[in-house]
Amino acid sequence: MDLHRLEIELKKRLIYPYRWGRKQSDSWDRETNFIYVTNSFQELLKKTRSLDANIRDYALNRWYNYWSAMGAEYIFSTHPQVSPNKNIYDKLVDFTIEDIPFDHKTTVFPGGFPHSVHYALEHKQELIEWLYLNQSQQGRKHLKNRLFIVLHDPSGRHWKLKSEIQLIKAAIDFYLKNFSSKNLLEIVIDKNEIQADIIWILK
């Protein structure tokens, strides 16, 4: 994957409003699954030109989020202790780190979390538990191991950080350089034993 080109394509999205119109759903996901095979933003605009405005916004957001996540997963895969999951349809595991399986999720710092980012930095487990219980309620909902990449911009435009691929790369590289399974948080939710952690992207 050409990370430089990816960052350029993602940043073309930034001039358009970031509106969902509705919560992410399986039905609208099916209608916009062309985002998986569209790596050019100009091509995406062509494919969405005739769509209802709400679905068009939804498609632009899904495309942006998906390709940013693919960039992050590619960055993980370049490290020797990481093994990508060859089964691309597996929703529970994106890769293993030192044989520990993980799903990865890039997310903005959630507005619904009842504390500040400064509080979350000191109470990482509380934020992780909140994310498991309040996000990914559709097809990607699960209670398995997960690495969260959490984005925060003091201006509130957290979503724009998903296009900062080199910034994300630096954070992932630093995390993996210092990775130790002993530092993972051990969490139990609904009798599910989970290993999880957060990689912070702070502007």
Q: Is the model's pLDDT at 140 over the cut of 80?
A: no
Give per-residue pLDDT as tens, 126-136.
Answer: 999 999 988 75
Q: What is the DSSP string of 121-163?
A: HH-HHHHHHHHHHHS--STT---S-EEEEEEE-TTS-GGGGGG
**What does pTM read for this prediction?**
0.89
Q: In angstroms, rounded to a whole number, what is the distance separating the alpha carbons of residues 2 and 81? A: 21
Give per-residue pLDDT as tens, 86-126.
Answer: 887 777 899 999 999 999 999 999 999 999 999 999 999 99
DSSP E strands, 38-191: 82-84, 95-97, 100-108, 146-152, 185-189
Per-domain boundaries in the chain: 3-202
